Structures are given as structure tokens and as C-alpha cells.
Amino acid sequence: MDKALAGIRVVDLTNNQAGPSCGQMLAWLGADVIKVEEPGKGDVARYSQKDRDRPDADALFFLSFNANKRSLTLNLKHAGGQDVFRALLRTADVLLENFGPGVIERLGFGYAAVRELNPRLVYASIKGFGSYGPYRDYKSYEPIAQAMGGAMSVTGFPDGPPTFTWPSIGDSGTGMHCVIGILAALMQRHASGQGQQVEVSMQDAVVNLIRVSLRDHQRFGRVMERTGNQLGAGVPGTTYRCHPGGPNDYVFIFVQQQMWHPLLRAIGRADLIGDARYETPEARGRNRAEVNRLVEDWTAERPKHDVMKILGEAGVPCGACLDTGEVLTDPHLLAREMIVEVEHPVRGRYVTVGNPVKLSASPTTIGPSPLLGQHREEILAELGYSDAQIRALAADGAI
């Protein structure tokens, strides 16, 4: 069975997370993603000391964002390595890069130069602030993108500072936006026969993801404040402590008006149906503390999974706050192959995240990330290089 992107070749020059997450999604969807890395070093994520858990294997961080790819080592500062890279680009459908401002242009592979080599190529760039605008020369990382995109200003509790959130909306969020752009450009190429440049900045991606807060600013005519776990004006609409009271023994419950009576029945408080103090959203808003107390009096006596089951079966939206260990063993995620085991040639078996995009005619098989340069000879042979030529390039430091 062909994969959705079978026949599409992606040259992935990226490091760390934003770019590699984009390349990995394309690989999961069936593209041949060739990760081009510096000889002897490779993606810094392979060996970053802050992420490395064992000295003899690539870091789990690297494995999390480079599954299903092939690895080719090239010295892009070496004339021979540049020749190989040009040959590779002539066979490619997509080039993906996330170098710092001006770096790829100085190497001689800016969009104008690459378009001369292959006018059908989709040239995708991920930048902190993009290639134009007042901040174009500034570097960025995940928390910088969250700060500059406005996300930190609306995250946290009212009496605390702007707060960084661990879900990588700046890195992986940007990577997924870039996937969309690449797929759109490939579709347009079917009609035009021409590639184009795709650019996504980390700041832009975060702004797109906080558009509800920006809408509220315009609705209310003021800067949006941090509200902790309270979701809008809905009551109940926050976290509630569960038994036995550990740091993650919480559920999130959100009730719209039609769910208020089912909630009261589920928690054994049908006697409050029709009580004017709680019967409308406005009344519950005025008596928020009382409503939250009566809900938590019930949740605090039960484990979070029991609370979720009882309320879920009653038609009331409720989610247990899963810790990382619970996510890795969650039966629903296992059934949906969102948590999978992969065999790695050095590590052996390890657990990783699967593909969240489910295609009925193109199911994803999650493979391991490549060892550094693992597919060098294989890829160069595909480009027409002989064994002798490959040995000469290696001896000269080009690959």
C-alpha cells in the first residue's frame, strides 16, 4: 500500500525541534526524508548534554523528532560536499531549513540559487521571526516565541508572572504550520509545475495559536489578564481536586447550560435542580465559589479516573489530568497507536509518540531515527556515485 506522500523526496537540513518535527511528519506520511548532517557531529540534539540520558546512544530528544528519516552526512563548506548537495537538490521535491539569519545564503544555497538548480523545488524555511520585518535578524527559541507571540501573557495565575508552557507551541507548533505550507505548495505545483518558497516564523505560529485571546482583547477592549485554570466565564469550568490529593490528582470539568442538570444528577445533588442560585450561567457566575465547592466536595472523594468515567457517561465533559507516566500507559492512547514501541539499533526497544494524523488508506508505521550517516552510501549510490567516488569523497572530508 502506497503512503500518501510516496515519491516525494524531502531534504531536511534542520536541527533541534521546529524543523525536525516538520520533517518527521512528512516522513510519517510517506515522504523520503533525507536528513543532511555535518560529518562527525550531526544534529546537536543527538548529543546535547542537557538531553542525553546515556553516552553510547543518541538522545531521546533526537529520537522524538527524527523517526522514519534517512541520514546523509555532508560538509556543506567543502566544494565536494556542495557538489553532492546540488546533485541531491536536483532530485528533491522539498528543501527544509531552519538556519539562523543569513547562514544558508552564505553557504550559497539561498532560494534564488536553489531555484536555478530545481525550479520545481518547494523551499521551506522556519525562522524565529521570518526573513523580513524589524525583528528579522533576531534569534529565537521556544520561550522567546511564546513571549513574543503573546502566549505567556495569558498563561498562568493572576498573581503570578507571565508563564511559559511546556507544550511546544513555538517549536512543534511552527513545524506543523510548515507542514501545511509545504503540502499546499506541492498541491499548487501540480497545476503550475513550479515550486515556491514557504516561510513560517515561530512568532507568527504562536500568534495564530492564541487568536482566541486576541479576539477577546477586541471584544472587551482591554488587555487580557491571566486567569489560571478558569476557562472563560463558564462555571463549572476549572480544575477540581480528586482523591487521594497528589500533585496530579485533578480533573478538568467544563459545563455548558444543557449539562448542568446531568452534572447535578451525576454528583448526587439532584436536589439543586431548579435552585435559582445556580440555575443559569449568570447565577453560577455570581456564585462561582459555592458551585466550585459543591463540585469539589464530590470529586475530592473519588480517584480522577472514576470521576472522569462517571461524568463522561453522564454526558458531562471531564478529563483526568494525566501525568507523563499515565500518558505513556494510557489505554486509549495505546489503542490509537499514539504511544508506540520502536526498535533502535543501539538503544533496543523504546517508547515514543506516534502519528496523530490518521489516514484510512495510508496507516503510519513508526520507525527509528537514523544513526549519523547511516544511509550515506545508499543515498549517494542513488545519485549515481560509484563506490570509488564515495571513498574519495570520504577521504577528502566532503561527506
Which amino acids are annotated catalytic? 171
Contacts of 195 (CB under 8 A, 6+ apart): 93, 115, 118, 119, 120, 121, 122, 123, 185, 189
Any idea which residue has 520585518 for its cell?
A: 133
120 within 8 A of 92, measured Cβ to Cβ: no
Q: Which residues pair with 145 in a beta bridge?
A: none
Cell digits of residue 176: 506543523
DSSP 168-185: -TTTHHHHHHHHHHHHHH
Any idea which residue has 463558564 for its cell?
A: 234
| Pairing assessment for the beta strands 250-254 and 237-241 based on DSSP bridges | antiparallel
Using CB atoms within 10 A of its CB, is residue 245 exposed (0-12), middle (13-18) or buried (19+)?
exposed
SS3 label, residue 270: helix
SS3 label, residue 225: coil
Cell digits of residue 167: 507544550
Neighbours of 175 (CB within 10 A): 28
Rounded CA gap, 143 and 212, in Å?
20
8 within 8 A of 32, measured Cβ to Cβ: yes
Rounded CA gap, 231 and 70, in Å?
43
Q: Quick one: which H or E segment has residue 85?
A: helix 79-90
Q: Give which of 372, 389, 350, 341 is closest to 70, Cα–Cα.
A: 372
CA distances from 220 to 216, 217, 284, 396 (A): 6, 5, 21, 65
